Amino acid sequence: MIVKSVYELIGQTPLIELDIPVAKGSGILAKLESFELKDGLDTKKFVESLKVISLAESLGGIESLIEVPAVMTHGSIPREIRLENGIKDELIRLSVGIEDEEDLINDLK
């Protein structure tokens, strides 16, 4: 289903390898991942079909959240500029929370 994983950089650190503290001293860490769906798969249909992972613009909390930057956080940016900066219409960002790993995997299948 996923055609490629996109590593967003903060300096030289890919977000996929970056543990982001949700709350200082809590020991809870969030993981961020960006990916694109294979051609022909409907991005909107995919994110709306999820049951465990919620569609939301806010990323990095304790719950798993997903967003489509092209129509959410970057929706006001002209498509040409978004594409020049690697924000394709198929791009999806996922913030993995503290839910059961198996539940999350099954939700994404």
Per-residue pLDDT tens digits for 52-69 = 999 998 766 788 999 999
Q: What is the pTM of this model?
A: 0.71
pLDDT reported for residue 29: 52
Q: Tokens 């809590």 identify what position?
A: 26
Q: What is the pLDDT of residue 66?
A: 94
pLDDT in tens, 20-30: 444 455 555 55
Residue with tokens 């970057």: 74
Query: Cα dist. 56→12, 20, 26, 67, 81 in Å?
Result: 27, 18, 23, 6, 23
pLDDT at residue 50, as a whole number: 95
Q: What integer pLDDT is reported at residue 20 of this predicted model?
A: 47
Q: Which residues of the chain have pLDDT under 70?
A: 1-30, 59-60
Q: How many domains does the chain have?
A: 1
Query: Between vectors from CA 106 to CA 55 and to CA 69, what angle results, nearest 5°?
Result: 25
Give the per-residue pLDDT at 18: 42
Query: Which residues form the domain of 49?
Result: 2-108
pLDDT at 59: 67
Q: What is the CATH number of the domain that holds 45?
A: 3.90.1150.10
